[in-house]
C-alpha cells in the first residue's frame, strides 16, 4: 500500500498555457504537454488557453480551461450560467452550427474508418435540428442534502465529480421542468425523509386531449416526476409531495425499489391511467407511455427523424416492413399508416404490450409485435422466417452486430439504421457491406444540442 501511495503524484497547481490542436470526439480540446496528450475541457480547436490539471494518467492528462487567451471564432457565450460546472452539457461554448459540423465530422470519421468510404461516395443528408434550449423531455435529476449549500440540491452532477451542481435553473430541460428546480429544492428540504430521496426521474409528454394542430405548433406539455426513495416515506411527506404536484399540475410517482415498484400517487389511479402521451400529427398518431418507458428526449427532432426514415425507406402500400428494436411503436405505427403490414420486435415484454396498446389506440390492425432477445440468433422466431421489403433498425448504443448478418438475409431492398452511437453504426455498416448492402446516405440529427451525443441515420440498399 505504501508503494502505491509513493507512486501517486500530486497534481500541479499552477495553470499551464496550451495551444489547442483539435477537438476530441468527447468535445474536449486536444493539446500536448511535453509530448504527452492533454484533453482540455472547455477549449476549442485553434485556441490558446490557460488551464489547470484535473487528472493525470500515465498516457494522458486532463485539464479544465481557466481562461481563454486567444479565442476561436466559433466560441460563444454559453446561455447557461452553470455551463462550466454542470455535467449536463459540454458544448455550450461552441456555436450551434459548429456543434453540428463537429457531430457530422465524428460520424464521417467513424464511417471512413470502418467502411473505407468517404463522404463523396454516398449522399450526405442535411442535418436535422430544432430549438437548442428547453428541448429536453427526459432526465434523471440527482438529489442530495448539502447543509453548507443551504440544504437540498436538485440537478445534474458536476463535471469530473459526484457532487451535484448548485443550480436554480436549466436551459436544456423543458421550461415546465426547469422552473420547478427551486420549488423542488424547497419542497424536499421540508421533508423529514429528504435524506432518503437520491433522485427524481423526469418524464414529459403532451396533454392527452389535443385539437388538430400544425406540425410546427408546440403542444402543451404534461410533466411527471418519479421520486426514488430508499426508505419508506411518512404519510406527512407523501401528502406534501402530492400537494406540491397538485399545485404545479404535475403527475407524482413514487419508486421505493426497482422500476417495477413505480406507482402514481397523484392523480389517483381511478382518475386516469398511468400514462403520458406524445403526438405525431403528420401521421395522425398518438402514443401512450409510462414515465419509466424509453422515449426520445427531443420531441421536435423525433418527429423529423420519423418523417425522414419513412421518406428514405420509400415505403409503398404493398410493403411488408420489419421494425427491430421497436420500443413502444415510435416508428412502427407511422410505418403502418403507409405499408401493408409492419412487424415490430423488441426485447421487453412490457414494451411489446405497450406497442400493441398503441396500435389499438390508433385503430391500426396491420401491425404485430413480438418480444425477442435481439442479441441472439433470429432464425428460431416465426417472424424471422418471412421476407421483408424494408427494414428499420433503431438499436441501443451497443448496436446490432449480433443480428446484422441475419438481417441482411431477410431480403429487404432497403434498410434504415437509426443510431445513437456512431461507433457501432459504422461497425455495423461495414458488416452490411460485406453482406451485399451499399451505404446510400447518412447524416446526423441534433437530438441533444449542447452535448457531444451524436444521433445519426444511415440508409442502405441491396446491391
Task: Return phi, psi of residue 454, to 5°.
Answer: -115, 110
The CA distance from 113 to 243, in Å, is 55
Residues 269 and 303 reside in one and the same domain: no
CA distances from 456 to 26, 161, 292, 369, 395 (A): 16, 29, 24, 25, 12
Measure the CA angle with vertex 139, ends 137 and 144; round to 5°. 145
- CA-nearest of 235, 276, 277 to 254 is 235
The rounded mean pLDDT for the chain is: 94
* Residue 377's CATH number: 3.40.50.150
Question: Does 437 have pLDDT greater than 60?
Answer: yes
* Residue 44's CATH number: 2.40.50.140
pLDDT at site 218: 63
The CA distance from 259 to 38, in Å, is 40
Residues 308 and 442 reside in one and the same domain: yes
Question: Does 66 have pLDDT greater than 70?
Answer: yes
Q: Tell me, what DSSP letter sits at residue 382?
A: G
Q: Is residue 91 part of a domain?
A: no
Residues 245 and 354 reside in one and the same domain: no
- What is the extent of the structural domain holding 108? 103-130+298-462
Q: Give the residue, 149 or 216, on which the prediction is more confident.
A: 149
Q: Give the residue, 49 or 12, on which the prediction is more confident.
A: 49
Under 8 Å between Cβ of 60 and 28: no
Query: Which pLDDT tens digit goes with each residue over 399-432?
Result: 999 999 999 999 999 999 999 999 999 999 999 9
Query: Which pLDDT tens digit goes with each residue over 181-230?
Result: 999 999 999 999 999 999 999 999 998 655 444 444 566 899 999 999 99
| Mean pLDDT calculated for residue range 81-100 | 95
Q: Is residue 171 part of a domain?
A: yes
The pLDDT confidence band at residue 274, using thresholds 50, 70 and 90, is very high
| Structural domains in the chain (count) | 3
- Looking up cell 456512431, which residue turns up? 422
The CA distance from 189 to 369, in Å, is 45
Q: Is residue 88 part of a domain?
A: no
Residues 150 and 189 reside in one and the same domain: yes
Residues 249 and 310 reside in one and the same domain: no
Which residues are tagged catalytic?
A: 420
Residues 384 and 442 reside in one and the same domain: yes
Q: Give the residue, 271 or 38, on which the prediction is more confident.
A: 38
* Residue 255's CATH number: 2.40.50.1070
Residues 267 and 335 reside in one and the same domain: no
Residues 145 and 227 reside in one and the same domain: yes
Phi/psi class of residue 361: alpha, beta or left (left: φ > 0; alpha: ψ in -120 to 50)? alpha
Give one DSSP letter per residue of 308-330, joined into a string: HHHHHHT--TT-EEEEES-TTTT
Amino acid at each position: 500500500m505504501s508503494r502505491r501511495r509513493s507512486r501517486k503524484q500530486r497534481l500541479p497547481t499552477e495553470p499551464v498555457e496550451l495551444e489547442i490542436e483539435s477537438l476530441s470526439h468527447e468535445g474536449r480540446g486536444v493539446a500536448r504537454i511535453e509530448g504527452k496528450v492533454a484533453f482540455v475541457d472547455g477549449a476549442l480547436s485553434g485556441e490558446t488557453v490557460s488551464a489547470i490539471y484535473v487528472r493525470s494518467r500515465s498516457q494522458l492528462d486532463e485539464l479544465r480551461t481557466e481562461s481563454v487567451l486567444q479565442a476561436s471564432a466559433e466560441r460563444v457565450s454559453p446561455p447557461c450560467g452553470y455551463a462550466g460546472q454542470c455535467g449536463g452539457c459540454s458544448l455550450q461554448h461552441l456555436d450551434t452550427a459548429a456543434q453540428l459540423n463537429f457531430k457530422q465530422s465524428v460520424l464521417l470519421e467513424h464511417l471512413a474508418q470502418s467502411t473505407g468510404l468517404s463522404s463523396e461516395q454516398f449522399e450526405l443528408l442535411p442535418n436535422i435540428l430544432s430549438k437548442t434550449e428547453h428541448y429536453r423531455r427526459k432526465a434523471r435529476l440527482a438529489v442530495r442534502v448539502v447543509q453548507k449549500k443551504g440544504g437540498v440540491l436538485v440537478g445534474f452532477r458536476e463535471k469530473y465529480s459526484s457532487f451535484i451542481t448548485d443550480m436554480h435553473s436549466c436551459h436544456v430541460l423543458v421550461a415546465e421542468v426547469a422552473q420547478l428546480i427551486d420549488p423542488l429544492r424547497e419542497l424536499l428540504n421540508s421533508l423529514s425523509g429528504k435524506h432518503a430521496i437520491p433522485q427524481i426521474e423526469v418524464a414529459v409528454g403532451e396533454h392527452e386531449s389535443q385539437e388538430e394542430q400544425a406540425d410546427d405548433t408546440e403542444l402543451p406539455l404534461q410533466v411527471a416526476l418519479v421520486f426514488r426513495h430508499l426508505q419508506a416515506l411518512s404519510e406527512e411527506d407523501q401528502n406534501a409531495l402530492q400537494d406540491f404536484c397538485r399545485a404545479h399540475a404535475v403527475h407524482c410517482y413514487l419508486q421505493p425499489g426497482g422500476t417495477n415498484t413505480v406507482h402514481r400517487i397523484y392523480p389517483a389511479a381511478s382518475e386516469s391511467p398511468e400514462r403520458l402521451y406524445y403526438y405525431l400529427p403528420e401521421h395522425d398518431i398518438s402514443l401512450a407511455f409510462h414515465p419509466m418507458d424509453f422515449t426520445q428526449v427531443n420531441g421536435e427532432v423525433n418527429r423529423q427523424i420519423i418523417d425522414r426514415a419513412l421518406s428514405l425507406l420509400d415505403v409503398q402500400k404493398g410493403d411488408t416492413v420489419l421494425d427491430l428494436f421497436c420500443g413502444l411503436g415510435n416508428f412502427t405505427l407511422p410505418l403502418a399508416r403507409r405499408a401493408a403490414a409492419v412487424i415490430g420486435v423488441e426485447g421487453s415484454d412490457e414494451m411489446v404490450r405497450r406497442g400493441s396498446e398503441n396500435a389499438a389506440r390508433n385503430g391500426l390492425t396491420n401491425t404485430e409485435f413480438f418480444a425477442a432477445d435481439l442479441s441472439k440468433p433470429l432464425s428460431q422466431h416465426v417472424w424471422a422466417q418471412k421476407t421483408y421489403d424494408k427494414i428499420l433498425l433503431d438499436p441501443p448504443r451497443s448496436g446490432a452486430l449480433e443480428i446484422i448478418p441475419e438481417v441482411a438475409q431477410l431480403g429487404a431492398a432497403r434498410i434504415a439504421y437509426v443510431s445513437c452511437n456512431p461507433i457501432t453504426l459504422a461497425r455495423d455498416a461495414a458488416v452490411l457491406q460485406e453482406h451485399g448492402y451499399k451505404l446510400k446516405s447518412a447524416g446526423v440529427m441534433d437530438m441533444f444540442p449542447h452535448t457531444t451525443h451524436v444521433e445519426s441515420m444511415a440508409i442502405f440498399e441491396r446491391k
